[in-house]
């Protein structure tokens, strides 16, 4: 099997071939490292490639299999791209910021540790908007990532590096984080699958915080089954994360396999009245309407539901998030780790000079907004009111899930936009998260699955589920994916153009 063929296989197929010893994990790792070397100068999905460590990890899997020992997990030996917001003892962790340039953490994040324990080959760290603040990966201090579908366009953000690595066939699996859509929106823009688990379903220990009440790590893949397999590796309780849920991981792999059989009879699917209408690109609306018809063909009952407070989600989010950013980013003070601009003056002057040099414009914007929203005399009027809206959105979800099993909407209002198109217009950039933000505010689960092309660019269908309701979400996503692939003659990702160097 050629190296090109290896990079096109799903994670599940690669694992099967590795575990049967039809191919070696080292061969698979090398094929993906070669692919990164061939295309990443153009795509710029990676900030750090750990070639030697990846090959050593893969060799350990091969040695274990040769000795007749069972693989450490169903994904042992499969390569993965890790968003550069999770700490790694053997690689730099920058969160896309100059203020952490070259920083090597003294500990692994829980997600990192679970990947290693599962025998997954970590290829390196992926590019991202600085501290996960952005919707295009243009706010990275290390330059933008480009969308493999059209390298003049963005891959989404903040996890554009992870999604682009999948779409460019540099990795079959990736890890992202989702604070307001940073897994799902890049998935929609790149024709890949992205999952935002229930808040607390995946440990945040070692995840550099953006907004602690919103951040959630999750799986990124090219198929729903691959995402489910990765979800079961990284999910579950962690006593080092006080917000971790002490309950078993939902049986998402079984659900994805059941869903792929294509029968959604008995399921009620809620069509959110407030999402998918005015302001959505015509091609996105058309794709969404096609997806609804497909779900009906699979046996689902469509029910229109109203979530009236969703329209206030964007405003509430952009008060809550900056407020938490203002608090979380205060730790980058030049005194303990990271960048230090030593101006030879007082500690306060060193701090100010370091933060001025180390933070980019979007990070500074959100720190200022958050500090203002939390200031004396404004806290109740801004942050306090935003939290009340958050409660109303949670109640909207609760009322909706009394009527239906899942909710659906377009993942994004538009397809991927040109690089530079919105970078100087923060409000236009923020509107990309219109459909994804409510789930983060409520702490519930959602995934984005490819739903075809609009004007030659990928579109995503968002499936939302109650807290810890991931099983039904994966079932619906897998059923829709299978039906769509059968109708289109193959997955959306099979039509991504070859990246030119």
Helix, strand or coil for residue 358?
helix
Question: How far is it, in rounded angstroms, from Cα 351 to Cα 29?
Answer: 42
Catalytic residue among 24, 73, 83, 203: 83
**How many Å separate Cα 404 from the centre of its chain?**
25
**Residue 321 exposure: Cα atoms within 13 Å on the Cβ side:** 27
Active site residue 346: no
Secondary structure, 3-state, 437-468: HHHHHHCCEEEEEEEEEECCEEEEEEEEECCC
The answer for residues whose C-beta is within 8 angstroms of residue 418's C-beta and 6 or more apart is 152, 153, 154
Tell me which H or E stretch contains 116.
helix 110-117
Active site residue 158: yes
Angle made by CA atoms 142, 185, 181, in degrees to the nearest 5: 90
The answer for residues whose C-beta is within 8 angstroms of residue 242's C-beta and 6 or more apart is none
Active site residue 182: yes
Q: Which two tokens stand for residue 295?
A: 């779900």
Catalytic residue among 182, 203, 409, 451: 182
* Residue pointed to by tokens 């590795």: 18
Question: How far is it, in rounded angstroms, from Cα 161 to Cα 129?
Answer: 9
DSSP state at residue 380: I
Catalytic residue among 24, 158, 287, 451: 158
Indicate which residues carry an active-site annotation: 83, 158, 182
């Amino acid at each position: 099997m050629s190296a090109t063929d290896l990079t096109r296989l799903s994670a599940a197929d690669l694992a099967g071939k590795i575990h049967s010893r039809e191919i070696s994990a080292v061969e698979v790792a090398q094929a993906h490292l070669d692919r990164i070397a061939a295309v990443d100068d153009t795509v710029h999905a990676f900030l750090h490639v750990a070639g030697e460590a990846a090959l050593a990890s893969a060799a350990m899997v091969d040695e274990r299999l040769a000795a007749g020992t069972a693989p450490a997990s169903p994904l042992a030996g499969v390569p993965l791209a890790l968003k550069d917001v999770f700490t790694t003892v053997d690689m730099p962790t920058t969160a896309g910021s100059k203020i952490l340039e070259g920083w090597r953490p003294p500990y692994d994040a829980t997600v990192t540790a679970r990947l290693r324990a599962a025998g997954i080959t970590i290829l390196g760290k992926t590019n991202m908007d600085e501290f996960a603040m952005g919707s295009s990966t243009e706010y990275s201090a290390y330059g933008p990532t480009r969308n493999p579908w059209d390298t003049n366009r963005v891959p989404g953000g903040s996890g554009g590096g992870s999604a682009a690595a999948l779409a460019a066939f540099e990795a079959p699996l990736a890890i992202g984080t989702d604070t307001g859509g940073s897994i799902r929106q890049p998935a929609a823009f790149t024709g890949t699958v992205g999952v935002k688990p229930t808040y607390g379903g995946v440990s945040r220990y070692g995840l550099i915080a953006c907004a602690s009440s919103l951040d959630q790590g999750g799986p990124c893949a090219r198929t729903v089954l691959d995402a489910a397999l990765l979800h079961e590796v990284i999910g579950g309780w962690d006593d080092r994360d006080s917000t971790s849920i002490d309950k078993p991981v939902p049986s998402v792999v079984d659900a994805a396999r059941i869903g792929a059989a294509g029968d959604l009879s008995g399921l009620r699917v809620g069509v959110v009245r407030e999402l998918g209408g005015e302001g959505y690109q015509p091609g996105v609306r058309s794709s969404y309407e096609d997806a609804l018809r497909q779900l009906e063909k699979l046996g689902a009952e469509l029910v229109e539901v109203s979530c009236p407070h969703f329209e206030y989600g964007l405003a509430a989010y952009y008060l809550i998030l900056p407020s938490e950013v203002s608090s979380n980013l205060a730790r980058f003070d030049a005194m303990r780790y990271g960048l230090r601009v030593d101006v030879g003056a007082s500690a306060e002057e060193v701090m100010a000079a370091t933060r001025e040099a180390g933070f980019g414009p979007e990070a500074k914007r959100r720190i200022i907004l958050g500090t203002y929203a939390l200031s004396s005399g404004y806290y109740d009027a801004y942050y306090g009111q935003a939290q009340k809206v958050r409660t109303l959105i949670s109640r909207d979800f609760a009322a909706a899930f009394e009527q239906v099993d899942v909710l659906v909407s377009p993942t994004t209002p538009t397809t991927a936009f040109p690089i530079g198109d919105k970078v100087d217009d923060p409000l236009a950039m923020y509107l990309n998260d219109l459909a994804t933000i409510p789930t983060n505010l409520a702490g519930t689960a959602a995934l984005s699955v490819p739903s075809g092309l609009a004007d030659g660019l990928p579109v995503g269908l968002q499936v939302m589920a109650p807290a810890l309701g991931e099983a039904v979400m994966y079932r619906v996503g897998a059923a829709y994916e299978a039906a769509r692939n059968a109708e289109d003659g193959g997955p959306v990702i099979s039509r991504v153009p070859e990246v030119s160097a």
